[in-house]
Structures are given as structure tokens and as C-alpha cells.
Amino acid sequence: MRTRSLAAVAAAMVVALSACAESGGTEPAKPSDVSKDLTTENITLTLAYTDDPPTQALIDAFHALHPNITIKGQQTPFSDYVKSIKLSMAADTPPDIAEYNPGAMRSLVPAGLIYDLTPYEKLYGWGEAFPASSLEVLRSNQAAKEYGTGGLYAVPGALSVLGVYYNKSMVTAAGIADTPSTLADFEQDVAAVKKGGKAPLSLGGLQVGGFQLWNAFTNALGDESQYRNWVYGKPGSTIQTDAAKQAAQKVIDWVNAGYIPASANATADSDAQANFTNGKSAYLVTGNWAASAIEKAMGDNVGFFLLPQATAGDSVVASGASVAYSISSKTKHPNEAAAFLDFMRDAKAATVQFDTGFMPVNNETAVQATGVRADIAADFKKVVADNGIVPFPDFASPNMIDRLTSGVQGLLSKKTTPDAFLTSLQESWTEYHG
């Protein structure tokens, strides 16, 4: 009986959220009485998140500055988080703060369940304190149909970028002396590793690793603004481009060439990472969020580069995002929650962000890096200078992550054609954006 009741409540929440998303909602939820003056009483906030690092370390650092404010973290694995966070935030007692995922949580905007943080942005001067590109993807119109415009619904807590890790001893053994300058160079390096009898790439096709590879190829081959507009939901945008099709075909070509393991579709991201750190492959495509764990496992035997463009000298483009945090419109302590968000630009937070493998939100903070994190810091500086950070493709529509994951699994098994894959993505986009 209890199970049936809970299911009914959950179904009602889904209907309500969907209705708000379709209608565009009423008015955005904005906090009132915004202030930098914080309570001196002992209070406890809850924070729902999936990425750790850096979240728990940031919570601990904030608590050290504000001992009367306790934040209880509630971590959920990514695949479960994107499925459950909407219901959690629609509950009567939701988390006060939640890690923001633009794809999974966009219906919370028209439903008024997370605050438009514009009043706090003005109060704290976040527009000048955070990199503009890091805030852009966190802005949305009221209907949550288009990004890069409208209210601010989250604040970045750490910055990330997608790239390629490589096993130094394995690539050296394959006769590779330098990191590649072009995508063609990289393909030659991958072929050299394969020719030497080693596995070139570890890939977690069971989860997000597969579509991240396609995403990296698309960024290397295509027009950055065209792709960005599609993810942001700009009217008339399409992913059915020559570059995206070439990227999909390249996934298939790499399967045929034996560069991608036959077991990729049965491999989780964590297992792909373990295979790489255990020396079972020369390369792994993933983000800097994994840097701390990879460096711990491999020491100095690992390097990092951004997947190069098709033409040497072209501006660097890479998908990246931020670990970002939103505030529930039902919280009883919005000013204290906002203080936690403002802490993300603090020098102490920057140390935490970098030590846990991410790039600091405050890009003026000096960081002392060695090893693979020095590689990441140097490449991140280049891509930011080129304004080449683009959002991940799963932000493009609420169910895009499912279309991407299953679609690339079809490419890996050679049961889906590039045209069918892109058609499926565009159908999802059109269903949402019209």
C-alpha cells in the first residue's frame, strides 16, 4: 500500500513538472530579503550532489569558515542522480542546495522549484567574479527552452574540460615522441599502439564514456558556434551536420580498426578508467574530474592533452562544464545557501578545487601544478583563451542523455548508422524545443 502511495505521489510530481515545462510556468522563483548578513544560530543545510571530488571538500572548507553552518552532503551516483533529482527537489522537504545538471533539472526552472539567483548575482557581483563562459550555460529563459539567456539558476563550484589521458610508457614504446597536433596525428598514434600489440583505448560505452568520445570528435571536426547553438536550444539549430556525421562514422571506423575494445558496451566508466590506470590501454577520453584518481594510481606515468582539431593551428575547442550548485526555492536559509555559492570564488575554495583535480572558478588564482595536473592547467588556459569551452551534448534536451548513450551503443555494436543516430538526437531536440 505504501509503495503504491509513493508511486502515485511520484507520478503526480512528474505530471506537475512536465506541465510546468510545457506551459513555461508562471513567474521565476526569486529570493526576497537577500543579504550578506548570515545567521549566528546553529543551522543545518542539506546538499544533494553527485560529483565528489570536489563537493565534500568544498563543504568542509566552507564549514571551517562558518562553524555554525553545517552542510550535510547527500551523494548519489550520476546515473541515479539525473533520474531522481527532479523528484527530490519537488518534495515537501527538498535539499536546500543541489548540484545542477542543466539537462536533467531544466523542468525545475518553469516549475519555480529552484531560485533565479539574479538578486544574489547583483548583491555579490558574481557577473564580474566568475568567468563569463562558466555562467553562460547556467542561464536559462523562463521556459527553460533556451540557455545562455535569462535568469541565473546555478553558480559554478569547479570547472572541467574533456580531454585525452595517455600512458607515457606505452606511447613511448609505440614510438610516439610528442602529443599530436591534429586529429590525423592522433589517429596515427592510435594505429601505432595497435600495431605494437597493445590496446589503444579504454571506453565505458555502458555509461557516458561512449558519447563523450563522439562529442570530442564532433568538437574537433565541426563548427563550434553551430554545435553550441544546438545545445543551447537556439531556434532552427540542428545536430544533423557533416561534422557530427563524420564523428559518428569515426566511432564505427575505430571499432572496425580494433582501436575500441569489443567489450566497450558492457564496460562502465569506472571500469574503463581502471583498465587505463592498470596499463591495459594507452589512452582514455574523459574529463579532468578524474585527474586526482588517475594521478594517484599512475604517478608521473600519465599525461593529458585536448583532442586536437582537424587542422593544426585552429582554435582549441573542448566540451567542459562546471560542477554547479542551485538553491531550492523551498529552503528556509537562502542567504546562507547563497553564501556557500559565493564561497566558490574564494581563494580557499580554489585550492580545494585544484587539489581535487578541477580548475578553480576564480581563474585569477595562482595554482602550483605538476605532472598531469600541470598538463590540464596549461591546456585549460588555452581553451579558455580561445573561448573554446562548449557545453556537453546531454544538456540539449531532458532525455538527450538517454538518446546519446543508447545511440552510441548502437554505433559501437554497428547496429545503428550515423544518420539514424543523428536523426534520433534531433527528434529529441525538436520534441522539446519545437
Look up cell 570536489; give the residue: 54
Task: Kindly state the helix (H) or strand (E) to which residue 430 belongs, with its residue range.
Answer: helix 418-433
Asked whether residue 25 carries a pLDDT value surpassing 80, the answer given is no
User: Which residues does 34 contact at the CB level (< 8 Å), separation at least 6?
Assistant: 119, 120, 123, 334, 335, 338
Q: For 233-358, where are the alpha helices, taking DSSP H only?
A: 242-256, 269-277, 291-298, 334-342, 347-355
What was the pLDDT predicted at 170? 98
**Range from 128-132, 266-270, 296-300 carrying the lowest mean pLDDT:** 128-132
Asked whether residue 17 carries a pLDDT value surpassing 80, the answer given is no
What was the pLDDT predicted at 20? 46
Task: Kindly state the helix (H) or strand (E) to which residue 86 belongs, with its residue range.
Answer: helix 78-90
- pLDDT: which is higher, 383 or 237: 237
How much of the chain, in percent, has pLDDT values that exceed 90?
A: 69
What was the pLDDT predicted at 15? 44
Asked whether residue 42 carries a pLDDT value surpassing 80, the answer given is yes
The grid coordinates of residue 344 equal: 566558490
CA 286/CA 216 separation, integer angstroms: 10
User: Which residues does 421 contact at the CB level (< 8 Å), separation at least 6?
Assistant: 248, 407, 408, 410, 411
Asked whether residue 24 carries a pLDDT value surpassing 60, the answer given is no
CA 416/CA 414 separation, integer angstroms: 6
Domain coordinates of the chain in residue numbers? 43-158+321-372, 161-320+377-433
- Model confidence over 66-94: pLDDT tens digits? 999 999 999 998 878 988 999 999 999 99
Stretch 143-160: mean pLDDT: 91
CA 267/CA 365 separation, integer angstroms: 38
- Model confidence over 202-230: pLDDT tens digits? 999 999 999 999 999 999 999 999 999 99
What was the pLDDT predicted at 337? 98
CA 9/CA 309 separation, integer angstroms: 49
Task: Kindly state the helix (H) or strand (E) to which residue 264 belongs, with its residue range.
Answer: none
Stretch 358-386: mean pLDDT: 83
Supply the CATH classification number for the domain 161-320+377-433.
Answer: 3.40.190.10
What is the band of 239 on the pLDDT scale with cuts at 50, 70, 90?
Answer: very high
What was the pLDDT predicted at 7? 40
Stretch 296-323: mean pLDDT: 92
- Model confidence over 89-119: pLDDT tens digits? 999 999 999 999 887 888 899 999 999 999 9
What was the pLDDT predicted at 148? 87
Stretch 160-166: mean pLDDT: 95
CA 369/CA 50 separation, integer angstroms: 26
The grid coordinates of residue 217 equal: 570528435
What was the pLDDT predicted at 27? 64
Task: Kindly state the helix (H) or strand (E) to which residue 217 belongs, with its residue range.
Answer: helix 209-221
Q: Which of 106, 72, 74 has the alpha carbon at shortest distance from 231? A: 106
CA 322/CA 275 separation, integer angstroms: 26
Q: Which of 219, 222, 224, 216 has the alpha carbon at shortest distance from 242? A: 222
What was the pLDDT predicted at 1? 32
Could you tell me whether strands 283-287 and 201-202 are parallel, antiparallel, or unpaired per DSSP bridges?
A: parallel
What was the pLDDT predicted at 26? 54
CATH architecture of 43-158+321-372: 3-Layer(aba) Sandwich (3.40)
| SS3 at position 347 | helix
Q: Which of 424, 164, 405 has the alpha carbon at shortest distance from 294? A: 164
What was the pLDDT predicted at 145? 87
Asked whether residue 4 carries a pLDDT value surpassing 60, the answer given is no
Bridge partner list, 49: 75
What is the band of 323 on the pLDDT scale with cuts at 50, 70, 90?
Answer: confident
- pLDDT: which is higher, 380 or 301: 301
Give the mean pLDDT of the chain.
90
Asked whether residue 406 carries a pLDDT value surpassing 80, the answer given is yes
**Range from 14-23, 100-109, 152-161, 295-304 carrying the lowest mean pLDDT:** 14-23
CA 248/CA 250 separation, integer angstroms: 5
Identity of the residue numbered 149: T
Q: Which of 357, 49, 409, 45 has the alpha carbon at shortest distance from 207? A: 409
Does 43-158+321-372 match 161-320+377-433 in CATH topology? yes
